[in-house]
Structure 1
Amino acid sequence: MRIATTMPLRKLISCVVLDLDGTLLNTDGIVSEVLKAFLGKYGKPWDGRVAQRIVGKTPIEAAAAIVEDCELPCTVDELISELNPMFSDQWCNIKPLPGASRLIKHFNGHGVPMALASNSPRASIEAKISYQPGWKESFSVIIGSDEVKMGKPSPELFLEAAKRLNSKPSCCLVIEDSLPGITAGKAAGMEVVAVPSLPKQSHLYTLADEVINSLFDLQPERWGLPPFQDWVEGILPIEPWYIGGPVIKGFGRGSKVLGIPTANLSTEGCSKILSEYTSGVYFGWAGLSTRGVYKTVMSIGWNPYFNNTEKTIEPWLLHDFDEDFYGEELRLTIVGYIRPEANFSSLESLIDKIQEDRRIAEKALDLPLFTKYKKDPYLSISLQNNEHHS
């Protein structure tokens, strides 16, 4: 079980109101792929600044922003009618964001009433969640922006959700990723937890009552709701996920400072994983093509201390190496989560935290729950029958 927080109880909550796109479902990647292909027909690039402008908007507002910013020779209605079939074909490929299914299952299992309130039309919401087993029946209320006069940032969606839940707005906890959604939740008189979908922009979410890095980091007990019981000795087991590729940096300058061999994988080869997983510190097993299988801690994110401009994957191999391993094939099986990415005032405090992460991971990976993954065929397929090491 997770160590109890020392933070005070904020307010007793009886219902949870959830946003969908960017909060529960990783729709950003699908939206970018569709719009990139569509705009290519007009010789227009898909700009990340446009992507930020449409986060949390209704379809009409988002389409208007795209037509304006990209100077398209079509009307908003024409753009929507052309894009809708393209999006519908891709809803089956959307994956839940890390922690989304766990959260829904947890609240549903404890009888906490949940509403799904999205700026998408009701039919679109139904279509998206139909590919996620158990989701639809877990919500007491599902409401889209086409069922109210005004979508977010108007509070109308959330107020209607509270009404259908037979709850006072003040007893509802909103979980949102976008600024329009957070504005709407506070205007409705609700408590709001923000899970920012815009990278490195959490300073913009000051209106929220709490800002968390990912749904893994939600502590329901702070709101008088049943706590998660799946933390084991300070770590969270997760469904295994897999990364592989050549090491573009291995056992470099950082390794000598940390006293832990570090590796960097190509962001190009891991772009899909980078888009699907929130930043944070994870752990698991690492297989090096000519050496063996080792315990590993892995950082995924922007590394606030070094102010990286791109999201990166940096595994730390928990083993003594005397030489670098540039160019070697590295395969990772990630099985647990430790903590969110954090800011550190000094390099010394960062190193201290990484060493603490190391101790947590080494202890956790000795548990039977995780040792079984050391023999994962994915790790050993390229080891050329070398003897494995721990």
Structure 2
Amino acid sequence: MAFLPVTHVLFDMDGLILNTEDLYTVAFQNIVSQFGKNYTYDLKLKLMGLQTHETAKMVISELELPMSTETFIEESKKQFEILFPDTQLMPGAKRLIEHLSKNNVPIGLATSSSKDSYDLKVNKHHTELFSLFPYKTFGSSDPEVKNGKPHPDIFLVSANRFPDKPKPEQCLVLEDAVNGVKAAKAAGMQVVMVPDPRVPKHLTTDATLVISSLLDFKPELFGLPPFDE
């Protein structure tokens, strides 16, 4: 398959740069366990990439929880404050971000997380790495992002944050979630997917390219500077 050259790269965060998808599972299971429910991987697949309030509404609806959206969000925040400060980097993330930054490739962060959630995940261990992103868009707290993934809003808003306003076809998105891939495609962008191994293969077909780890990413496929040997 031939890939088109790009000039700008947009990164998702949860499950792509940081291992927070595992932590979300722990947090949500801790909440729903109070009601004898299970937070299944099938449900998680539907939620990945959604904004905070969308996630809360869907969990409550799917599991028929006797609680309000606001209560679920408050309970989640308590869990996150315990779990998120010790997030770990996913394989290859640091190497790729530093490589693109060093080679003056414009990069941006496009995460469905809120600014508060981002701070919890990043401030203890990862501020230096994330400082390499001059442009960050927080989907759950940015008024310009009207709709969460799979809608294209976050990637279109993020691309518009670059001073030279690249066209969608000039942007490459890096994502782990099915909803994120759909959002990137809806935005008219190419998207490299690094899915959790449990994601069924038929749900990855919208991606321009599927790889098992960011360690496998070859920037030169998209006209970007290759890694030094």
TM-score by length of structure 2 reads 0.90
Post-superposition Cα deviations, 1:19-38, rounded to whole Å, max 9, x if no partner, equal: 01111111122112222222
Aligned equivalent of 1:99, options 67, 92, 116: 92
**Residue type of the alignment partner of 1:101:** K
Name the CA distance, whole Å, in 1 between partners of 2:191 and 2:41: 27
**Residue type of the alignment partner of 1:104:** I
**Superposition deviation, residue 198 in structure 1:** 5.3
**Superposition deviation, residue 40 in structure 1:** 2.3
Post-superposition Cα deviations, 1:110-144, rounded to whole Å, max 9, x if no partner, equal: 11111100111133223322231422210021001
Name the CA distance, whole Å, in 1 between partners of 2:212 and 2:148: 25
**Superposition deviation, residue 200 in structure 1:** 4.7
**Residue type of the alignment partner of 1:216:** L
Q: What is the Cα-based RMSD across aligned positions, in Å?
A: 1.7
C-alpha contact 1:202 1:211 (8 A) present in aligned 2: no
In the alignment, does 2:78 pair up with 1:85?
yes
Post-superposition Cα deviations, 1:209-240, rounded to whole Å, max 9, x if no partner, equal: 1111111111100001011125xxxxxxxxxx
Structure richer in strand, relative to its length: 1
1:229-378 maps to which residues of 2 (within 5 A)? 229-230=228-229
Consecutive unaligned residues of structure 2, counting only runs of 5 or more, are none
Structure richer in helix, relative to its length: 2
Classify the secondary structure of the residue corresponding to 1:134: helix
In the alignment, does 2:134 pair up with 1:140?
yes
Post-superposition Cα deviations, 1:333-378, rounded to whole Å, max 9, x if no partner, equal: xxxxxxxxxxxxxxxxxxxxxxxxxxxxxxxxxxxxxxxxxxxxxx
C-alpha contact 1:119 1:151 (8 A) present in aligned 2: yes
**Superposition deviation, residue 92 in structure 1:** 1.3
Classify the secondary structure of the residue corresponding to 2:117: helix
Classify the secondary structure of the residue corresponding to 1:138: coil
- Tell me the number of residue pairs that the alignment of Structure 1 and Structure 2 aligns: 223
Name the CA distance, whole Å, in 2 between partners of 1:32 and 1:78: 18
Judged with a 3 Å threshold, the aligned counterparts in structure 2 of structure 1 residues 154 and 28 are, in CA distance, closer, same or farther, namely: same
Name the CA distance, whole Å, in 2 between partners of 1:53 and 1:162: 25
In the alignment, does 2:185 pair up with 1:192?
no
C-alpha contact 1:153 1:184 (8 A) present in aligned 2: yes
Classify the secondary structure of the residue corresponding to 1:97: coil
C-alpha contact 1:52 1:198 (8 A) present in aligned 2: no
Post-superposition Cα deviations, 1:184-219, rounded to whole Å, max 9, x if no partner, equal: 111111111111125152332222111111111111
In the alignment, does 2:156 pair up with 1:159?
yes
Name the CA distance, whole Å, in 2 between partners of 1:122 and 1:92: 14
Q: What does residue 70 of structure 1 align with?
A: 63
Consecutive unaligned residues of structure 1, counting only runs of 5 or more, are 1-6, 231-390
**Residue type of the alignment partner of 1:16:** V
Q: What does residue 116 of structure 1 align with?
A: 109
Q: Whose RCO is larger (CA < 8 A, sep 6+)?
A: 2
After TM superposition, the structure 1 stretch with the greater mean CA deviation from structure 2, 143-152 or 217-226, is 143-152
Q: What does residue 19 of structure 1 align with?
A: 12
Post-superposition Cα deviations, 1:124-178, rounded to whole Å, max 9, x if no partner, equal: 2233222314222100210011212112112111111111112222111001111
TM-score by length of structure 1 reads 0.54
Judged with a 3 Å threshold, the aligned counterparts in structure 2 of structure 1 residues 215 and 46 are, in CA distance, closer, same or farther, namely: same
Name the CA distance, whole Å, in 1 between partners of 2:161 and 2:199: 35
C-alpha contact 2:85 2:122 (8 A) present in aligned 1: no
C-alpha contact 1:14 1:172 (8 A) present in aligned 2: yes
**Residue type of the alignment partner of 1:61:** E
**Superposition deviation, residue 84 in structure 1:** 0.9
Q: What does residue 28 of structure 1 align with?
A: 21
Classify the secondary structure of the residue corresponding to 2:35: coil
Name the CA distance, whole Å, in 1 between partners of 2:17 and 2:5: 23
C-alpha contact 1:196 1:202 (8 A) present in aligned 2: no
**Superposition deviation, residue 67 in structure 1:** 0.9
Q: Deviating runs (4+, > 4 A) in structure 1? A: none
Name the CA distance, whole Å, in 2 between partners of 1:225 and 1:187: 23
Judged with a 3 Å threshold, the aligned counterparts in structure 2 of structure 1 residues 150 and 106 are, in CA distance, closer, same or farther, namely: same
C-alpha contact 1:91 1:127 (8 A) present in aligned 2: yes
